[in-house]
Structure 1
Amino acid sequence: MCKKYTFFLLFLISFSVLSQQSYYNKIDFSKSGLALKNDLATLIINTHTNFLSYTPGVWNASKQTDVNPKNATQVMLIYGFSNAGTTARTRGVNDNGGNVGDWNREHTYPRSLGNPNLGTSGAGADAHHLRPSDVRYNGQRGNKPFADGTGNSGTVAQGWFPGDEWKGDVARMIMYMYLRYNNQCLPSVVGIGSATSTPDDMIDLFLKWNAEDPVSILEDNRNTYHENTNNTYAQGNRNPFIDNPFLATKIWGNPPSGTPKPEDRWGNLTLDNTTFFKLKIYSNPKQRDFLFLNRKADFTLEVFNVIGKKIISKEVKNKKNIDISSLKNGIYILKISQLTGSITQKFLKL
């Protein structure tokens, strides 16, 4: 019997992950600072596989990604805050163009501020920073740099305030553009703020806005659409700062004093680096119907038989053990996954 238990333990040895469970599966989130920034940049560059045309690609993408969650016949207009007119929050989904009353494509990172100019391809046609906007209101913003303010959007002393509803969206789009296009889209060029407390050209203004304005349903919808390359106008990549605003803190440090830290939407980036996603799986010879973890966790559980057929798949919440009582005796492959990674191990059920 002891030999059988020894064999059971020997099979609980980690090996390469069988397949990617999530978009961030290969990112080591125990890293921080510029090391994490560079890894995320590589990810969003490599997964950006569909390069949209400015016309009609971006138009068509916006009609899918920026639909009003409460009314599918409308798109949401960035900077908007009223029921109608130039500052309206919504407009008919097909009312796009260049005339008064239409919505057009707002470059949150203005083309003229890029170095070199963003143009109408590449960075200039990246749908992650292009948002529907009222034609006239878009013109009022022009290429003014973003500056702090309160309340609704509009011109302020130093530039343009996007409004309390939209400032988090803007911050996360600028962060994305910086990672995706590096020095062509420096945050310090498009916003009024200080970079002295960050390791590169990120400015405190965008860290502040990212923390103060939580992620919206609209932002999540945009990310979901663009990752899925089955969607005709999807780019294939995601904006990491929408998925988890706390990534900005992991890279560039805390927002300015007096600002709360941004939300950790995964609930684990705030863990100390020495304990972050280091789930370990072990057996207990006295409880053969369970496998055990070294700490409680939320995760996706999958079990495969030796020919690769998935026989268990479920979400597990706040558990430290895995019930394998339903399995017949034999060899299996266990995979547990979180947004931040996954581990795969063989085990023997006796």
Structure 2
Amino acid sequence: MKKIYTLSALLFSVAVLAQIPAGYYDAATGTGYTLKTQLHNIIKDHTDQGYGGLYETYTASDKDFYYENDGTLLDMYSENPDGEDAYEYTYGSDAQDDGSGGTSEGQKFNREHIIPQSYFSSQSPMRSDAHFVVPTDKYVNAQRNNLPFGKVATANYTSTNGSKRGSNLNSGYSAGYSGTVFEPIDEFKGDIARMFFYFATRYEGQLTDFYTATEATSTQAKVMFDGTEGHTFSPTFLSILLSWNAQDPVSQREIDRNNAIYDRQDNRNPYIDHPEYVTAVWGTIAGTGVYQTIKISVYPNPVTNGQVNISTDAVLNEIQLININGQLVQDIKNPNSVNHTYTITLSGIAKGFYFIKTISADKTNTEKIIVN
């Protein structure tokens, strides 16, 4: 069902470390690939809890306190944000994968590697890194297999929550690839994109070896990557990931998951803590036309009267206000403009730093503002 933020969800957030540790990102001062390397140095050498330890991590990181709000397993491939889930799993039950079942949805759950194991030859600590290994239905996991993520044109398989497999649309932000892809629902596209950005950063220095490994070269796991340590992603899939990151901002669920995994692994996903790092690394330095921005003017800044003006020649489909923790606090769809200026009233917004994200077709822009 639709997101529910109740007392139990708030208590869960407090229980798993409520904020970024002081000074954690002090060394992240650069831009572009320099920033990525600085972030790598911050999050590398995490504590590997082992492949079996993932299930223990999930009992803190992947429980549903946001939709049904019942503490069941939160699976991106079966969760229905707008209605009742077709099935639910409970940790510790006999539904946990034991090598049997999984011939249809709703029988067993297991561990899904968002970056397939075949890409890094099932090596550790990648194999058990909870930042990109998530609990999912076993059958849907098998349907995705090691396919790249993309925008499905015509589906040949659809899960109960609308996740799809089929040929890539090969137009718009997904232009340049026509093979088979897997597409999650809109609710979780940003989550998955930020897992890829984490992987590219945490395992910098090993990416070239992953790309040239025999197992990786023989599978579809390779096509999302370009074999470099810096840019990391092939153009089509960088475009897809950047678009999904922009379309689906960081949620409270992601923040809580990041905190819970930090409590177990001693490292964090920096692109959840600081969403602006994504474009600082790939958007402004490595975009090369793949990720386009909208030219806008935002004023007054600082905002003093609760209103902010956005002047642009682009037609905006959506304007989002995001707080410094990456949480979406105001979302205006199909806003109206007068003489190319959009005037937005910031309702009930506390003083502080925020990001204004503007979205127009396949273009986006993010500007930092101060609310006084």
- Does the pair score TM above 0.5? yes
1:69 matches 2:65: yes
Report the alpha carbon displacement of residue 201 of structure 1 after superposing the two structures with TM: 2.4
Equivalent residues of 2:283, 2:291 under 8 A apart: no
Superposition RMSD in Å: 3.6
Q: Deviations over 1:259-282 (max 9, x none)?
A: 8899764289xxxxxxxxxxxxxx
Unaligned runs of 5+ in 1: 1-19, 229-233, 269-295, 299-316, 320-350
Kindly tell me: are residues 263 and 51 of structure 1, through their superposed partners in 2, closer, same or farther at Cα, counting changes over 3 Å?
Answer: farther
SS of 1:176 mapped into structure 2: helix
User: Corresponding residue for 1:124?
Assistant: 127
Distance in 2 between residues matched to 1:261 and 1:33, nearest whole Å:
26
User: Corresponding residue for 1:164?
Assistant: 186
Equivalent residues of 2:113, 2:132 under 8 A apart: yes
Q: TM-score, normalised by structure 2?
A: 0.56
Equivalent residues of 1:212, 1:262 under 8 A apart: no
Kindly tell me: are residues 156 and 81 of structure 1, through their superposed partners in 2, closer, same or farther at Cα, counting changes over 3 Å?
Answer: farther
Report the alpha carbon displacement of residue 136 of structure 1 after superposing the two structures with TM: 0.6
Distance in 2 between residues matched to 1:262 and 1:23, nearest whole Å:
27
SS of 2:73 mapped into structure 1: strand
1:105 matches 2:111: yes
Kindly tell me: are residues 54 and 193 of structure 1, through their superposed partners in 2, closer, same or farther at Cα, counting changes over 3 Å?
Answer: closer
Distance in 2 between residues matched to 1:171 and 1:221, nearest whole Å:
17
What is the identity percentage for the equivalent residue pairs of Structure 1 and Structure 2? 28
Equivalent residues of 2:242, 2:291 under 8 A apart: yes
Kindly tell me: are residues 318 and 165 of structure 1, through their superposed partners in 2, closer, same or farther at Cα, counting changes over 3 Å?
Answer: closer
User: Corresponding residue for 1:44?
Assistant: 43
User: Corresponding residue for 1:33?
Assistant: 32
Equivalent residues of 2:44, 2:202 under 8 A apart: yes
Unaligned runs of 5+ in 2: 1-20, 154-160, 168-179, 212-216, 285-289, 295-317, 327-350, 354-369
Distance in 1 between residues matched to 2:321 and 2:39, nearest whole Å:
19
Structure number with higher relative contact order (C-alpha < 8 Å, ≥ 6 residues apart): 1
Number of equivalenced pairs: 239
Aligned amino acid, residue 111 of structure 2: R
User: Corresponding residue for 1:306?
Assistant: none
User: Corresponding residue for 1:227?
Assistant: 262
Distance in 1 between residues matched to 2:210 and 2:64, nearest whole Å:
28
Q: Deviations over 1:11-58 (max 9, x none)?
A: xxxxxxxxx723213322xx2101101100110104x1x211101x11
Report the alpha carbon displacement of residue 225 of structure 1 after superposing the two structures with TM: 1.4
Distance in 2 between residues matched to 1:191 and 1:262, nearest whole Å:
34
Equivalent residues of 1:145, 1:159 under 8 A apart: yes
Distance in 2 between residues matched to 1:263 and 1:153, nearest whole Å:
28
Equivalent residues of 2:113, 2:133 under 8 A apart: yes
Equivalent residues of 1:79, 1:162 under 8 A apart: yes
Distance in 1 between residues matched to 2:148 and 2:78, nearest whole Å:
18
Distance in 2 between residues matched to 1:173 and 1:226, nearest whole Å:
13
Report the alpha carbon displacement of residue 106 of structure 1 after superposing the two structures with TM: 0.5
Distance in 2 between residues matched to 1:267 and 1:92, nearest whole Å:
30
Q: Deviations over 1:186-234 (max 9, x none)?
A: 7x97586797xx9612311111111111112221111111223xxxxx0
Distance in 2 between residues matched to 1:225 and 1:257, nearest whole Å:
34
Kindly tell me: are residues 263 and 155 of structure 1, through their superposed partners in 2, closer, same or farther at Cα, counting changes over 3 Å?
Answer: farther
Aligned amino acid, residue 274 of structure 2: N
Q: TM-score, normalised by structure 1?
A: 0.59
User: Corresponding residue for 1:286?
Assistant: none
Q: Deviations over 1:233-253 (max 9, x none)?
A: x00000011112221100011
Kindly tell me: are residues 156 and 245 of structure 1, through their superposed partners in 2, closer, same or farther at Cα, counting changes over 3 Å?
Answer: farther
User: Corresponding residue for 1:142?
Assistant: 145
2:51 aligned to 49, 54, 66, which one? 54
SS of 1:24 mapped into structure 2: coil
Kindly tell me: are residues 60 and 267 of structure 1, through their superposed partners in 2, closer, same or farther at Cα, counting changes over 3 Å?
Answer: closer
